[in-house]
Structure 1
Amino acid sequence: MAKTNTIITIGRQFGSAGREIGYQVAKDLGIKLYDKEMLDRAAKESGICQELFETHDEKPTNSFLYSLVMDTYSLGYSSGNYTDMPINHKVFLAQFDAIKKIADEGPCILVGRCADYALEEYDNVLSVFIHADLDSRIRRIARIYDLTDAKAKDMIVKTDKKRASYYNYYSNKKWGAAESYDICLDSSVLGREGTAEAIERLIEIKEREGDKKL
């Protein structure tokens, strides 16, 4: 049985080990982590093809595929506003619905994809943003992908830019800004295990304080 009733959303800078930290928390608390699985779920439930979710995954809206698929996909839907909606919006809405359905099933961890925004009306959510100093992120990405420091830095800058523009476009908040989340943690200061431990302590505090309000 899960050791928490809380849903944790994790936003993360590329190279900050946000997803790995999420997996550690999920393991410790006995709950599931959803990363790409959100896309699978959204594709299955919406009937929109999986490739489109992959193409638009945490990327800005000007996808080259947009014009190619727009006409094909809009033919499959009933008339009205939904038909005229750009495909990137359809994909986002399908993902938004999938995130809410996953959250309704119980405590879990959701990584990226504006999950904190999708669930902002839920009381049992702790939204976390994990960041780290650039040097430690460069070292990590260079090691994982076997890149030079310069190429690792380029990959980090581009990935973060995509994530930021996706989040800023679809949500009413700013990616990486402290006021957009309940808590921001620096994994280069706390370490991976320490960051996971901090999240687990914060969940305990949130649930304890929540019980006091009842």
Structure 2
Amino acid sequence: MACKSVITIGRQYGSGGREIGQKLAALLGIKCYDNELLDRAAKESGICQELFENHDEKPTNSFLYSLVMDTYSMGYASAALSGMPINHKVFLAQFNAIKKIADEGPCVMVGRCADYALDDYPNRISVFIYSTMEKRIRRIAGKYNFTDAKAKDVITKTDKQRASYYNYYTNKRWGDIGSYELCIDSGMLGIDGTVELLHQFVEKREALMEKK
């Protein structure tokens, strides 16, 4: 049976979330969007792609954002956008691109608050991938030839940035079990084991949705 879901994957740095997303998409016969989300958002918004890369999942100034979004919510979209800080323009462009991609059909999306953007989509499955610090250090140190200390520093900083970004732009908490439908320790199951578990979960959830 063809996949009908849009699977969003939040992930701790070094947990293998991107690889898991790519392998799951291949197994399900659907597309996986990671950095491709930035490409799509840049193309459709007309904003330089380098700006998307520089502001990708980075925390921002909450006071400025609140001020801008208050204006936006009152219907002054064009005025708000014209004076909006670039990081907010980047977020909104990604937000719109995520919705357009989901409207095109089943896929896997990695990061970028995709679970929040698609909160009202009944076919969305939100997942969070995590692992122990020790196993993530091993993965990152091996992948980039870092020392353990360097790997831990990069992991800690990246997780902090992702958490700040997610917590700020959504009404949920990054990595909190209540923010997702399924959380998996990829260090325990391994990459392929995690993919297999996700595949089974998607099939079972879609079967249940069919009965409703």
Q: TM-score, normalised by structure 1?
A: 0.89
**Which blocks of at least 5 consecutive residues in structure 1 are unaligned?**
63-77
Map 1:81-100 to 2 at 5 A: 81-100=80-99
Q: Give, in whole Å, the separation in 1 of the partners of 2:50 and 2:23.
A: 29
Output the CA distance in 2 between the equivalents of 1:45 and 1:139: 38
Aligned to 1:50: 49
The corresponding residue for 1:31 is: 30
Same amino acid, percent of matched pairs: 65
Aligned: 1:200 with 2:196: no
**For each residue in 1:172-209, what CA deviation from the matched residue of structure 2 results, as whole angstroms up to 9, or x when unmatched?**
11000000011000001111111001111111111111
Q: Distance in 2 between matches of 1:30 and 1:100?
A: 20
What is the SS of the residue equivalent to 1:80?
helix
> Deviating runs (4+, > 6 A) in structure 1?
none
| Cα distance change on mapping 1:160 and 1:207 into 2, 3 Å | same
The alpha-carbon deviation at position 146 of structure 1 amounts to 0.4
Counterpart residue number, 2:126? 127
Question: Does residue 21 in structure 1 map to residue 40 in structure 2?
Answer: no
SS at match of 1:110: strand
Match for residue 111 of structure 2?
A: 112
* Structure 1 residue 90: Cα displacement: 1.0
CA RMSD of aligned residues (A): 1.5
Q: Kindly state the Cα deviation for residue 79 of structure 1 after the two structures are TM-superposed.
A: 5.4
Q: 1:70-81, aligned counterparts within 5 Å?
A: 80-81=79-80
Instruction: Name the CA distance, whole Å, in 2 between partners of 1:84 and 1:140.
Output: 42
Query: How many corresponding residue pairs?
Result: 198
Question: Deviations 1:85-123 (Å, cap 9, x if unpaired)?
Answer: 222111101100000000011000000000000000000
Task: Give matches, 1:150-169, under 5 Å.
Answer: 150-169=149-168
TM-score of the pair, normalised by structure 2: 0.90
SS of the aligned residue for 1:19 comes to: helix
Gaps of 5+ in 2: 62-76
- Aligned partner of 1:149: which letter? D
TM-superposed CA distance for 1:48, in Å, is: 1.0
Give the secondary-structure state (helix, strand or coil) at the position aligned to 1:127: strand
Kindly provide the amino acid, as one letter, of the partner of residue 164 in structure 1: A
Whole-angstrom CA distance in 2 between matches of 1:157 and 1:33: 26
Q: Cα offset for 1:49?
A: 1.0
Report the 3-state secondary structure (helix = DSSP H, G, I; strand = E; otherwise coil) of the residue aligned with 1:120.
coil
Written as runs of structure 1 = structure 2, the 5 A alignment for 1:170-185 is 170-185=169-184
Per the TM alignment, residue 82 of structure 1 is displaced from its structure 2 partner at its CA by 1.9
Q: Hey, what's the Cα distance between the residues in 2 that align with 1:180 and 1:141?
A: 26
